[in-house]
Amino acid sequence: MIKVGIVGGTGYTGVELLRLLSAHPDAQLTAITSRKEDGLPVADMFPSLRGHVDLAFSAPDKIDLAQCDVVFFATPHGVAMAQAPALLAAGVKVIDLAADFRLKDQATFEKWYKIPHTAPELLEQAVYGLPELNREAIKSAKLIANPGCYPTTMQLGFYPLLKAGLVDASSLIADAKSGVSGAGRKAEIGTLFSESSDNFKAYGVAGHRHTPETSAQLQRYTDDKVGLVFTPHLVPMIRGMHATLYARLTTDISNEALQALFEQQYQDEPFVDVMPFGSHPETRSTRGSNMLRLALHRPDGSDMVVILVVQDNLVKGAAGQAVQCMNLMFGLPESTGLKHIALLP
């Protein structure tokens, strides 16, 4: 059994990790930290876990995380970089769901996240945890930088086109929407029910921290300079993410060939569903599951390809993807503990 520790088990990604790992046949929940909730049984905070998780939260200074085989950080940015060096030195594998290790360039990280990076020596060692595009590196990794939710949709949507050299890499556009849970489990005016319900708005239009992350990863797949315009939006739902991606073709290609390109790229991927050409994937078709669904469109037969991508921002966009990485790191079948079918309605 893999002994698992979770740092920051009280947020939305933390409880999603608890939900997935408590039912994982090869994982043993060993430690869950929370300074504020020290001593509180996990099931008292999250009744959905009654009968499944019998641990209590522990203050970080009261528990030895070095007893774990892997530690997940479901914490604000800056926490993992402070604790990862000691854990790695003790032989513990680390999976960070925040952004501490997603960007290889220290200056870029500090520009976008407004905090100093205290473990820059680990930036090159960290492996970006998007299994569909980085599987072999993940298998041998000690430190995983779990991708952001928006970047997951953008990368899996644009990747086949960039890899094949079919589109203008300098003019990629992503118009994406996320449920309110993407903002985390905290009290903020913008995510209060009266503010977000019956409302729709864009944010981060002038610049969003997921843009440099996505651009840097997409740049790996093309020799042309990547130019990405990314606009996120907040929609009045709890879970779910929908990205509408636009790319301009530079080569004459049929719709059938475009569809075949995506189907062949993802034919062996357990968590990417390429729907029939012209389909309209819905966020509810992925709710509670680790599945990402996408569909291609070609408006009026033009040179513009539109890719619709949906996922659950807390599962494939966060905790589920982290567990997917854990499975690979420990030599397990990739889909272990992640075969949940989406909730409908």
Residue 2, SS3? strand
Instruction: Point out which residues pair with 175 in neighbouring strands.
Output: 231, 244
Closest CA to 55 of 21, 88, 87: 21
Q: How far apart are CA 266 and CA 244, in angstroms?
A: 19
The question of whether 325 is a catalytic residue gets the answer: no
Can you say whether residue 246 is alpha, beta or left, with left for phi > 0 and alpha for psi between -120 and 50 degrees?
Answer: beta
User: Which contacts qualify for 44-52: CB closer than 8 Å, 24 or more apart?
Assistant: 45/10, 46/15, 46/18, 48/19, 49/15, 49/18, 49/19, 49/22, 52/22, 52/23
Cβ-contact 92, 74 below 8 angstroms = no
Catalytic residue among 42, 98, 138, 149: 149
Please count the other Cβ atoms lying within 10 Å of the Cβ belonging to residue 229: 12
- Residue 121 phi/psi, 5-degree rounding, is -65, -15
Work out whether strand 201-202 and strand 292-297 pair parallel, antiparallel, or are unpaired: unpaired
Enter the DSSP assignment of 58: B
| DSSP character at residue 334 | T
Residue with tokens 């088990």: 9
Residues in the chain: 345
Q: How far apart are the first and last CA of the chain?
A: 35
Active-site positions read: 149
